[in-house]
Amino acid sequence: MPSKWTLDALKPGTSAEAIFWPNPVEDSGYRWRATHLDERRTPKVVLSDDERIVPGVPCVVKVKQVTKPEREDRGIILVEWVGAGTFKIEGVYLDPVVSKKLQVALECGLNILLDGPQGCGKTVLARSIAESLGMRFVFFNCGAVVEASDFLATIQVRASESGSPVTDFIKTEVLESIEEANEHPERRYLVFLDELNRCQETARNALMPALDSTRRVFHPIENRFLTIPPNVQFIAAVNRGRAFSATFGIDAAQLDRFVPLQMTYLPPPEEEALLARRHEGLAKSTIAHVVAVADAIRRAPDLGGTLSVRATDEACIFLRHRLFSNNLRTDLPEVLRSSFCGRFSGRWDDVSTDAGAVWAVVTRTLAERKLPVD
């Protein structure tokens, strides 16, 4: 599907899904504004004044009129409300109640904290939200933060013409986005703070005023406070648990600035469907074996870690390849030794290690599925 609509395709009567936000142009005459239909960019801004539209909530609309079709720099697309839409996120599982909470938090502009095991789709979810809502996605790795200023700027030392060292401040994408958002209130930005608990608490304290009603941060380059406008929304992600090292606790005051939402892995049938879409040509029965073993490992009570969807996806990549497509009984165990056991400490053939415990789950599950390992 093309990433952008053409005017020829947006004839009156065309129906599509949209997510509207308040129109920043005060004298426009239309309360609601969108820039995407069916997650595809529109050549002109989409406007409506329908009272049934709720900001941030998907809805189905129908094109009424396209004004000034001959001009690329002028005109609008007028639409009318048809019915409620759906919030679609590919490859991510959300409990239905959690999905409702997510939609409310997005609609109200609240900060969101995604808490779940590795590889359950936290980054995919945040990126999908940005794409669905027509927001610019700003990814920031908090694991690289050492000092509070690192959220907004990094220091680069270079040699001047005289040879003496000169210090330059380089803006991060977070700072650039906040500055752009102040200059362009019609654009929306989603700042994704990945691995928030991998930076020390003292560094995270710098974000406290950004995440509460104060809505401002200290600009380390211009030595002033910078207002965070309402068209910037924050989503953070954390991995918490005994399986993760180099992480730091998040205190109550920091947690209180977020809406915490718990995520988990896709149920086996949905994971099988996802992998089948990604790996056309791979037998569905093979995918079912891979997912069944992964599910058994995830439910094992004594393991110090778990398996992400990346692991099942990787196994399918191997099994689909021509070099591993001859004998499932031999190829599947070999692939799972690396793609599954290899993600745990120790060796698969050492029963005293986590990898060895995983291998025991692999062999037991395959035997139950009539695929005993020789």
Phi and psi (nearest 5°) for 301?
-75, -20
103's CB contacts (< 8 A; 6+ apart) are 56, 57, 87
Burial class (CB in 10 A: 0-12, 13-18, 19+), 363: middle
pLDDT digits (tens, 9 = 90+) for 81-118: 888 766 666 667 777 788 888 878 887 889 999 998 87
- Ranges of residues in the chain with a pLDDT under 50 are 241-246
Query: What secondary structure, in 3-state letters, does 106-160 show?
Result: HHHCCCEEEECCCCCCHHHHHHHHHHHHCCEEEEEEHHHCCCHHHHCEEEEEEEC
Domain 7-84 has CATH 2.40.50: yes
d(CA 279, CA 283): 9
Q: Quick one: which of 296, 255, 289 has its CA closest to 366?
A: 289
- The label of the residue with tokens 């406070």 reads 225
- The label of the residue with tokens 């060895």 reads 356
pLDDT at 77: 93
66, two tokens? 């396209």
Provide the whole-model pTM. 0.71
pLDDT at 180: 94
Q: What is the CATH architecture of 96-262?
A: 3-Layer(aba) Sandwich (3.40)
* 129 within 8 A of 112, measured Cβ to Cβ: no
pLDDT at 221: 86
d(CA 25, CA 33): 9
pLDDT at 89: 66
pLDDT at 59: 86
H or E stretch including 261? strand 259-262
Q: Quick one: which of 59, 72, 66 has its CA closest to 17?
A: 59
* 182 within 8 A of 232, measured Cβ to Cβ: no
pLDDT at 200: 80
pLDDT at 138: 95
- The label of the residue with tokens 């809805």 reads 59
Between the two ends of the chain, the Cα-to-Cα distance in Å is 46
